[in-house]
Structures are given as C-alpha cells and as structure tokens.
Amino acid sequence: MVNTENSVTYSPFRHISRAEWKELNGHLSYPIADTDIHKLNALNEPLTMQEIEDVYFPLSHLLQIHVDCYRQLHQNANSFFNNNTKRLPFIIGIAGSVAAGKSTTARVLQKVLSLSPGNPKVDLVTTDGFLHSNQYLEAKGILNRKGFPESYDTKRLLGFLSDIKSGKELVGAPIYSHLVYDIIPDELQWVAQPDILIVEGINVLQVNVKGKYNGPRVFVSDFFDYSIYVDADPANLLEWYIQRFEWLRKTAFQKPESYFHRFADFNEEQSIAMATSIWEEINKPNLIKNILPTRFRADLILEKGSHHFVKSVKIRKG
C-alpha cells in the first residue's frame, strides 16, 4: 500500500525565483552602454540594466556552459571518428506569444552572448521572414490567419536550418518588413557559420502533425540545441499588445507606406477597440491553440510579471 500522506509533487522543471536566479551568474559582468540598451529595447517594452544583470547575465552563463559542452562533445566525437570535421553552430530557439517580448529577449541574448569569453559570433534570425507572402496568403484566403501554422513556409524554414546544421558556409534567410507587413522580395539575410545562432518566433516549438502523411517527420525544434519560452499571463499580453498598437499608431502607422496607415487617424478609443478586436479574433486563438501548448517543450521558461520584467524561471531538470 502506498502512503500518500507525505506525497511529493514531482515536475520535470525546477522553479527558481528571480532573487535566486540573479545569484547564479557567477559574478560575470559585461560592458553594456546605455546606448546599447536603447537599441536592444523593443517598442514599448521596458528594459533596464538591472534586468540585464539579474536575468540575462545568469542566462548567458548557463548557455555558455551548454555551448562549452557542445564544443567538447564535438571534439571528443572527432577523436572517436579519427577525423577533423568543422564545428556546427549552436542553435538557440526562442518562442512565446505575440507581445510577450521574444524579440527583446533574443536581441539582449545576442548582445550578452557575443560579449562572453572568446567573443563568439552570434547571429539572430526571426521566423517572420519565413511567412508566406501576402499575395500567397490572400490567394489561399488566410491573410487574417497570419501567424498561424499554415501561414508559414515551414519547408523553407526547415531547409534553412538543415543547411545550417549541415555545415553550409553561407545560408540565406528571407527578410520580413513589419512596416509593409510582408516579406521583402529578393532580399536575404546571409548567415555565415556563426558560433551561435538564435532563431526567434512564435512557431519555433510547434509540432504540426496534421494530414495523412505517415512517413518521417522533422520539426523546427529538432535542430535546436537549447530552447527558451517567454511566458506571461494572457491578460498582461493583451494589455501589452494594446500598448504596442497605440505606440505604433502614433509612430510607424503615420507613414504612408505603412500597411496599417489606415489606422493612423484613429483616436485612442478607436485604437484600443481595434487592437482588442485583433487580439481576440487572431492572436488569442493562436496563442491558446498553437503557441501556449508548446511552452513545456522548452528547456527553459522565462516567466514575466505585469511590468514585462522576468519574475521567475523554470528550467528543465537534468
């Protein structure tokens, strides 16, 4: 008979408070200027040196441990096979909802990791570039489902990651313009064998198994050496999305070439109503059905509080 009086709840994740987490950085410190912080900051998302020191310095330290082990494994494998193959990029995937702050997390990590010992080359690619063109989405009748799994050219994204992990010297990634709300034709971001590659996007941890095909399946996350999910309460995500929409209405939407220029003359009440409508009809369903279920596929979860700052961390045991 099992005694349940003193039963323990087990989880594959270890929960660490911010206060505990910030003490784990091994007293590493990197020179980051105020101008750098301003460049790393995204739209209305706050970013302070304190946030970088408390959250991203320890995270960089942890990731560097994984990178070092990855390099040692490659060296040992070369010795085992008696050859001298070139080391492949260490790939970090960053997932999370629209408005969660993935882009800021990715940019800060890129900066901090590039300052780590040896000054590794760190590149950043977003999966927005792998969205199908508006022309394609309109033809399929799914332009209003941009961001949903079917709106991405997953085959092209998998091909890109396969080339990276195959050791190809120069790999091109398509570029997306948030101003015109579409990919830029015939323009590529070239990735040339970085030490670390960060791949950021809402879809990077998704596993789409629809259809009747029963053969081997490869998923984006299969190419990751480490994965991070940026998490926040849905109520906060809605608030941040509205704030971001308002900020864009007063700035980028004012440009005639902006896809959303038609919202430029909205007053604050109309702007909030439109942002809420977009969230409820598109972003929230996508979050609930396709994004949030991938959270526990990550190796590490950054849990944000109401002010966009990380309040705690969940990290997979092992």
- pLDDT tens string 74-108: 999 999 999 999 999 999 999 999 999 999 999 99
pLDDT of residue 98: 96
d(CA 318, CA 300): 12
pLDDT tens-digit map of 143-193: 999 999 999 999 999 999 999 999 999 999 999 999 999 999 999 999 999
Q: State yes or no: pLDDT of 22 exceeds 80.
A: yes
Residue 5, in any domain of the structure: no
Domain count, the chain: 1
d(CA 146, CA 131): 8
Residue 8, in any domain of the structure: no
d(CA 90, CA 223): 9
pLDDT of residue 108: 94
Contact 59, 69 (CB under 8 A): no
**318 pLDDT band (50/70/90 cuts)?**
confident
**Span 52-57, mean pLDDT?**
93
Q: Could you tell me which residues come within 8 angstroms of residue 3 by beta carbon, excluding any fewer than 6 positions away?
A: none
Q: Please, which residues bridge with residue 16 across strands?
A: 313
Q: Could you tell me which residues come within 8 angstroms of residue 177 by beta carbon, excluding any fewer than 6 positions away?
A: 183, 184
Q: Is 36 or 131 the better-scoring residue by pLDDT?
A: 131
pLDDT of residue 212: 55
Residue 130, in any domain of the structure: yes
Q: Could you tell me which residues come within 8 angstroms of residue 145 by beta carbon, excluding any fewer than 6 positions away?
A: 137, 151, 282, 286
pLDDT of residue 195: 98
pLDDT of residue 55: 95
* Residue-range definition of the domain harbouring residue 254: 14-75+86-316
Q: Give Cα 172 to chain centroid, integer Å.
A: 19
Percent of the chain with pLDDT over 70: 92
**209 pLDDT band (50/70/90 cuts)?**
low
Residue 2, in any domain of the structure: no
- Assessment of whether the complete model's pTM goes beyond 0.85: yes
Query: What order of strands is seen across the sheet that includes strand 300-304?
Result: 13-17, 310-316, 300-304, 226-231, 90-96, 196-200, 122-126
Residue 260, in any domain of the structure: yes
pLDDT of residue 214: 60
Q: State yes or no: pLDDT of 54 exceeds 60.
A: yes
d(CA 185, CA 208): 27
Q: State yes or no: pLDDT of 234 exceeds 70.
A: yes
Contact 307, 50 (CB under 8 A): no
Q: Which amino acid is at 101?
A: G
Q: State yes or no: pLDDT of 315 exceeds 80.
A: yes
pLDDT tens-digit map of 239-285: 999 999 999 999 999 999 999 999 999 999 999 999 999 999 999 99
Residue 3, in any domain of the structure: no
Q: State yes or no: pLDDT of 130 exceeds 70.
A: yes
pLDDT of residue 216: 65
pLDDT of residue 45: 76
Distance (Å) of CA 190 to CA 87, 98, 193: 19, 25, 10
Residue 4, in any domain of the structure: no
CATH code for position 301: 3.40.50.300
Residue 304, token pair as written in the block: 């944000």
**Span 183-208, mean pLDDT?**
95
Q: Could you tell me which residues come within 8 angstroms of residue 286 by beta carbon, excluding any fewer than 6 positions away?
A: 98, 145, 147, 148, 202
d(CA 106, CA 202): 12
Q: Could you tell me which residues come within 8 angstroms of residue 297 by beta carbon, excluding any fewer than 6 positions away?
A: 205, 207, 221, 227, 229
Residue 51, in any domain of the structure: yes
